[in-house]
Structure 1
Amino acid sequence: MKKIVAWKPLPADVLSYLQQHVQVVQVDPTQHDTFVAALRDADGGIGSSVRITPSMLEGATRLKALSTISVGFDQFDVADLTRRGIVLAHTPDVLTESTADTVFALILASARRVVELADWVKAGQWQHSIGTAQFGVDVQGKTLGIVGLGRIGGAVARRAALGFNMKVLYTNRSANREAEEAYGARRVELPELLANADFVCLQVPLTSETKHMIGAAELRSMKKSAILINASRGATVDEQALIEALQNGTIHGAALDVFETEPLPADSPFLKMANVVALPHIGSATHETRHAMARNAAENLIAALEGTLATNVVNREVLVR
C-alpha cells in the first residue's frame, strides 16, 4: 500500500477516505527533522500553510504527488517539483463563493466603518445621535476595480454588479467574456483601473510578477477617496508604502485579509489605524468550505497517485511526461 504524509489535521471522514486507499502518516510540521524524514519515505503528501522547500525533498525519490488544501501554492517551489516529476494539486473551485463573500464583507466593512464603529459602541461612546464624524461612504452605484478576474474575481464582480449596481472595471491576462456579458465588466489597463475605481480589489496569485505590484506609485495614482481591498496574498502590496499612504491620506482606507507576515506582528502600524480593517486570513474559513477543501485535496491526491488526476493540477506539464 502506498504511503502519504499528512501535515495538517484532517476531518475524520476525509482521513477515513484516505485510509481506504493509502497508509496515512500524520506528522507535526513544526518537528522539522521528523517531517522531512517522513517525506523521504512517502509516495505523496497533503497539507497546507507550511513552506515545502527543495532541500526538504532531497532523497524523497518515491514522492509522486503533493496536494495543498488551498488555492494558493506559493508555499511550494513549483519549478523544483516539476523538475522532480512531482505533481502539485490545489483546490481552486470549492472556495470561490466563500472567499468572494469575505471580499465583499471587507468592502462593506471598510466603506461603512463597521469594525471601527462596533468598537466605538462597545467602548460606551454612543451617547447621542451620530453625526458626520461617524458617517461612512456608499457602496451601491460605485466603481469596483478588480485586479485579476478569475474564479473569485468573477464571483466578486457578480455580487457587485447584480447586488449593488456597481460598475466593474478589471485587469486580467485574458478577457473574461462571461463577466463582460453578464455583469457589464470592462477590461482596462491597470493605470486606468487605479485612477477610476472607488474600491480596488486584488485577486491575483503571488508570483514574481505580482509581488509588490501595488506600491507607492500605484497608490498615488488612486483616488484619495479610494479603498484598497486585499484578500489575495499579502506580498502583492508593498506594505510600507501602503502604511505611508494611509497615514498621509493618499487613499481613504484599506481592508486586508492577508499580510506579508502572518500572523500580523503586534507592533504593526495597521493595528493602530482607524481606516484599516484587518482580518486574520479568513478568506475561505467557513466550516463548510474548509471541509470541502480538505475532501477535494484528498481526492486530488489519490487520483494523482493513481495517475488519473486531470483537473486542479498546478504543474500540468508533469502529467504529459
Structure 2
Amino acid sequence: MPTIIITEPEFSKGAHIFTASGLNCLPSAPAEADLCAAIQHHGARHAIVGIQPYRSSLYDVLQPAAVLARFGVGHDGIDKAQATQARILCTNTPGVLNESVAEHAISLLLAAARHTTKVAAAMTQGAWAPVGGRELRGKTLVIIGCGPIGSAVARIATAAFDMRVIGVIQNTPPREPGFFTKLTSDPAEALPQADFASLHIPATPANAHFVNQQRLALLPTGAWLINTARGAVVDEAALYDALAQGAIGGAALDVFETEPYAPVHPAKDLRTLPNTVLTPHIGSNTADANTRMAQHSLRNVLLAEQGAYSQMNLLNPEVLQSLPPSSGA
C-alpha cells in the first residue's frame, strides 16, 4: 500500500475520500520544503498538491515513476521539464471542476451587474443604500478561451439569461458552438463589444499579462472584467489604473498574481477600489468538485501503481520514453 503525501488544504477538501480509500494518505504543509520533508520522513511514493509553485527540491525527493498529482486542472505550479528529467509522472484532474468554476464565473457576473457585494456590505453596516443595476438579458458577454469551462459559461449565459455571447478561440474550439452568438480568434474584434468579458485561458508563458493596458483600453467604459482562470493572465497594475481612472466599469476577480492576495504595488491595492468584487480563489471549491478531484487524483496514482500509464491524465507523456514498459500500459 503506497504512502501518498497530500498538501493542505487539498487534504481537508477531500478528506472523506482520502481516509476511506484504503491507501496511506497523509497531510502536509504545502510549502515545498515541508512537503519534501514529509515525503522523506514517511517514505512516501507519491504526492498530491494544490496551486502552490514547486520549482526545486521536490523533483529530487520523489522517485522515478512516482506520481505528482495536481488536485485540480491548472498545472502552472508544476515544473513539467524538471519532472520529466526526474522521470516523475505529472497528472491533473480535467473535466471534474468545469461546472463549479463556470457557476462561480456566472455568480461574479451577477454580482457585477447588481452591485451585490457593495449593497450587501452597506446593509451589514446598517445603511440602506440601494444602487441601480443592469439586466443581463441582451447584454454582450465576451468569453476569452472557449475550452470546457468557457463553453459551460456560454451555455449558462445563453440558456439562462439570453445573453449575446462572443467567444474568442485561443487553442481549443468550443464543444457546443451553438451557445455562442459569434466566434473569433481576434480579441481586438470582440472586446470593444463587451458589456462583460470573462477569462478562461491557462497561465502559459504566452498568456502572461494577456489582459494588459492595451487590451483593457479596448473595453467600453462600462464593461466589467471577470477572471476565474489564473491571476497571471492579468496585468494587475494596469487593471488598477483602468479601474481607478474609470476607464472600465469594474473587475470581478477570483484569482490573483500573488495568492493569498498581495498588491503588485503598495499604491495599487485592488481591495481599496469601490468597483471590484474579489473572492479568494473559490471557483472550484465546492463539495461536489472537491470530491471528484480527490477521486481522480487517487485514480491517477492507482493507475501508475498498475502501470496503466495510457489511462492516466498525464501532463508530461514524454516521460514514458524513459520508464520501462508495463503490462498494464
What is the TM-score of this pair, normalised by structure 2? 0.87
The count of corresponding residues between Structure 1 and Structure 2 is: 313
User: Structure 1: which 5+ runs fail to align?
Assistant: none
One-letter amino acid of the counterpart of residue 4, structure 2 = I
Residue deviations 1:211-256 (CA, integer Å, cap 9, x gap): 1011111111111111100011111100010000001111111100
Give the aligned partner of residue 155 of structure 1. 152
Give the aligned partner of residue 280 of structure 1. 280
9, 13, 18: which one aligns with 1:15: 18
Counterparts in 2 of 1:175 and 1:270: CA distance versus 1, 3 Å: closer
One-letter amino acid of the counterpart of residue 30, structure 2 = P
**In the TM superposition, what are the counterparts of 1:98-247 in structure 2 within 5 Å?**
98-126=100-128, 130=130, 134-174=131-171, 176=173, 178-247=175-244
**Hey, what's the Cα distance between the residues in 2 that align with 1:231 and 1:171?**
16
SS of the residue 1:58 aligns to = helix
Counterparts in 2 of 1:225 and 1:93: CA distance versus 1, 3 Å: same
**Hey, what's the Cα distance between the residues in 1 that align with 2:225 and 2:20?**
41
Alpha-carbon RMSD across the aligned residues, in angstroms, is 2.3
- 8 Å CA contact retained: 1:179, 1:185: no
User: Structure 2: which 5+ runs fail to align?
Assistant: 323-329
One-letter amino acid of the counterpart of residue 258, structure 2 = T
- 8 Å CA contact retained: 1:234, 1:259: yes
- 8 Å CA contact retained: 2:303, 2:312: no
**Hey, what's the Cα distance between the residues in 2 that align with 1:135 and 1:34?**
49
**Hey, what's the Cα distance between the residues in 1 that align with 2:179 and 2:132?**
33
Counterparts in 2 of 1:34 and 1:208: CA distance versus 1, 3 Å: closer
Counterparts in 2 of 1:12 and 1:237: CA distance versus 1, 3 Å: closer
One-letter amino acid of the counterpart of residue 315, structure 1 = N
TM superposition shift of 1:261:
1.4
Counterparts in 2 of 1:48 and 1:59: CA distance versus 1, 3 Å: closer
Residue deviations 1:109-161 (CA, integer Å, cap 9, x gap): 0111010011122222217xx5xxx2122221111111111111010000111
One-letter amino acid of the counterpart of residue 89, structure 1 = T
Counterparts in 2 of 1:247 and 1:297: CA distance versus 1, 3 Å: same
Give the aligned partner of residue 302 of structure 1. 302
SS of the residue 1:258 aligns to = coil
**Hey, what's the Cα distance between the residues in 2 that align with 1:317 and 1:164?**
44
One-letter amino acid of the counterpart of residue 279, structure 2 = L
Q: Larger deviation: 181-190 or 91-100?
A: 181-190
Give the aligned partner of residue 57 of structure 1. 59
Q: Which has the higher contact order (CA 8 A, sep 6+)?
A: 1
Give the aligned partner of residue 80 of structure 1. 82
TM superposition shift of 1:90:
0.8
Counterparts in 2 of 1:3 and 1:58: CA distance versus 1, 3 Å: same
One-letter amino acid of the counterpart of residue 119, structure 1 = A
Counterparts in 2 of 1:113 and 1:57: CA distance versus 1, 3 Å: same
Counterparts in 2 of 1:34 and 1:283: CA distance versus 1, 3 Å: closer
TM superposition shift of 1:84:
2.2
**Hey, what's the Cα distance between the residues in 1 that align with 2:318 and 2:162?**
41
One-letter amino acid of the counterpart of residue 81, structure 1 = A
- 8 Å CA contact retained: 1:39, 1:63: no
**Hey, what's the Cα distance between the residues in 1 that align with 2:183 and 2:319?**
36
TM superposition shift of 1:281:
0.8
Give the aligned partner of residue 318 of structure 2. 317
Counterparts in 2 of 1:300 and 1:185: CA distance versus 1, 3 Å: farther
Give the aligned partner of residue 68 of structure 1. 70
Q: Larger deviation: 219-228 or 45-54?
A: 45-54
